[in-house]
Amino acid sequence: MTRLNLKVNGKSHSVTADPQSMLLYVLRNDLALRGPRFGCGLGQCGACTVLIDGAQARSCVVPVSSAVGRSIVTLEGLGTLDHPHPLQKAFIQEQAAQCGYCMNGMIMTAAALLKRSPNPSDERIKQALASNLCGCGTHLRIVRAIKRAAREIA
């Protein structure tokens, strides 16, 4: 166990963890963040997606030691209840969630996409989300939500 300093959602946190422990477990168990979720544990479903230095990352396969000194943003860090991020607001307005389990990954992946491509086409959105698994079938609403958020951000 080692003392590690992490910058999560703009705040510094000191945690004691095995440096090889996955970032997801530290975020959920030590920092009590519930946005990133455990899905597959293999980096394949996207439920655990966070932003590290602005790029999407699957926190279930990222050793916490590799996140030290980097900026980590979780779903909770995008916006607040009083001031939700345009993506969070758009997902609600478009009723994009059904069970909601994949939404963390969808929103965080979309946030990274909109930083790279502020006005993505439907095809570009679908490509970006292709590795995020969702069994509910709200894909069309998710695409609409991302397009809505892109218009608001622009």
Q: Cα angle at 142 between 149 and 7, to 5 degrees?
A: 65
pLDDT, tens digit (0-9, with 9 covering 90-100), for 44-95: 999 999 999 999 999 999 999 999 999 999 999 999 999 999 999 999 999 9
Are the C-beta atoms of 66 and 126 separated by less than 8 Å? no
pTM over 0.85: yes
Query: Which sequence spans correspond to the domains of the chain?
Result: 2-75, 86-153
Instruction: Tell me whether domains 2-75 and 86-153 share a fold.
Output: no
CATH of domain 2-75: 3.10.20.30
**How many CB atoms are closer than 10 A to CB 33?**
20
The dotted CATH code for 86-153 is 1.10.150.120
Angle subtended at Cα 108 by Cα 104 and Cα 111, rounded to the nearest 5 degrees: 145
